[in-house]
Amino acid sequence: MLIGALIPAIAPGINTPNTQTFSHSLTFGLNLAVLSNMLQFMYNKRSRKKKDGHTHLSLWGPCYLLFSAIWLIMADLTRHLVNDSWKYQNCDDFDNNNGQVRQVCEVHGVWNEYLPTGGLSIYGIVFTVLCTWAGFILMAWGIGWGLDLHLKIRNAYTVGRNVNRSGRSPTSNSNSPGRINTGGTPLLQQLPVESSCMSLDDMIRSAPLVYIGKAWCPFCAKAKAAIARAGVTPGNPAFKQYELEDEYRKPLVDNGPLIQDDLQSKYGSRSVPKIFLNGELLGGGDDMVAQEADGSLKKKFRDARIIQPY
């Protein structure tokens, strides 16, 4: 909208009906391009999400909101173009007191924003105020929903609340950094310092192969053993392993329950372990055992260039 006012603002002398039409058309085109690209970006992002555990509305709701926002935001810009294209002329006879009568004509738009008295017309109230504001509200809602901002804000709030209650830093941990040991046996790489408040999506994107589990969980132990038999060890740089709790069920992260809530929301189950390969869910403990037994797990690791030979 600011760009649309650029030409008249720079050179008021050329603020003619033609330049107004040009600036309105330019504004319409730029806004439509930006908003439609925003919708395309959101569609591509949501289409890459796992369909399991999502209803149609929870998956595509942000796209519906952005689609509705485009129509509402473009409504007032369309009103400008209609005003530029269709006008009516109102003429009155004027007596100049010399016995001469001349005709005075005024040109009016069909959908004027303002009344002759200076107040908003019905078109100004509906298109300029209601549609524009509703469109921007829906756009903000759709972007926030599509980018999972509510989950990130909730995670940050929970981490901060836990820190205030415990009086310790969210990055502190009573275990030494590196590995968690039980009876001298290295289990898994401990969460990196910055990952104590990582979201589920951040964990999944952190490496080609990702394990999320709990050190005390027997199914997690089965999954770790199957992964190891398939040729992947904790020292593999393509393998990230995250324990939410230690062998004594003590939380190792401040947002463990929220991570499991996200697992429930996105994959239909909050149970662990969950193993991901290139962002795709491979399965849990029993799945890893079965796939390792039939050789498919090792083949998947080779195809993903996790282990050699490629």
Q: What pLDDT score was predicted for residue 207?
A: 93
Q: What pLDDT score was predicted for residue 268?
A: 86
| Domain assignment present for 161 | no
33 & 142 share domain: yes
195 & 138 share domain: no
| Domain assignment present for 172 | no
Indicate the residue among 127, 147, 167 that finishes a domain: 147
Q: What is the Cα–Cα distance from 14 to 117, expressed in whole angstroms? A: 26
| Domain assignment present for 168 | no
| Domain assignment present for 253 | yes
Q: Domain of 198: which CATH number?
A: 3.40.30.10
Each residue of 4-54: pLDDT tens digit? 455 555 555 566 667 778 888 899 999 999 999 999 999 988 887 656 556
What's the whole-model pTM score?
0.50
51 & 98 share domain: yes
Give the model's confidence band at 109: pLDDT under 50 very low, under 70 low, under 90 confident, else very high.
low
Dump the DSSP string for the chain.
-TGGGHHHHH-GGG--HHHHHHHHHHHHHHHHHHHHHHHHHHHHHHHTS--TT--HHHHHHHHHHHHHHHHHHHHHHHHHHHHHH-EEEEEEEEE-SSS-EEEEEEEEETT-SB-TTSSB-HHIIIIIIIIHHHHHHHHHHHHHHHTTHHHHHHHHHHHHHHHHHHTS-TT--SSPSSEEEETTEEEEEPPPGGGGG--HHHHHHTSSEEEEE-TT-HHHHHHHHHHHHTT--TT-TTEEEEESB-TT--BSSTTHHHHHHHHHHHHS---S-EEEETTEEEE-HHHHHHHHHTTHHHHHHHHTTSSS--
Per the model's pLDDT, the better-predicted residue between 72 and 175 turns out to be 72
| Domain assignment present for 36 | yes
Lowest mean pLDDT among 113-117, 249-253, 270-274: 113-117
141 & 238 share domain: no
7 & 135 share domain: yes
Indicate the residue among 123, 147, 171 that finishes a domain: 147
128 & 226 share domain: no
Indicate the residue among 147, 163, 187 that finishes a domain: 147
137 & 87 share domain: yes
Structural domain tally of the chain? 2
223 & 100 share domain: no
Please name which of 293, 279, 305, 302 lies closest in space to residue 222, comparing C-alpha atoms: 293
| Domain assignment present for 200 | yes
Residue range of the domain that includes 294: 179-303
Q: What pLDDT score was predicted for residue 20?
A: 77
140 & 194 share domain: no
127 & 197 share domain: no
| Domain assignment present for 164 | no
Peptide bond into 309 cis (omega under 30): yes
236 & 143 share domain: no
Q: What pLDDT score was predicted for residue 108?
A: 61
**What residue type is assigned to position 227 of the chain?**
I
128 & 219 share domain: no
| Domain assignment present for 173 | no
Per the model's pLDDT, the better-predicted residue between 85 and 144 turns out to be 144
Give the range with max mean pLDDT: 8-22, 110-124, 195-209, 289-303.
Answer: 289-303
Q: The tokens 């709701």 sit on which residue? A: 61
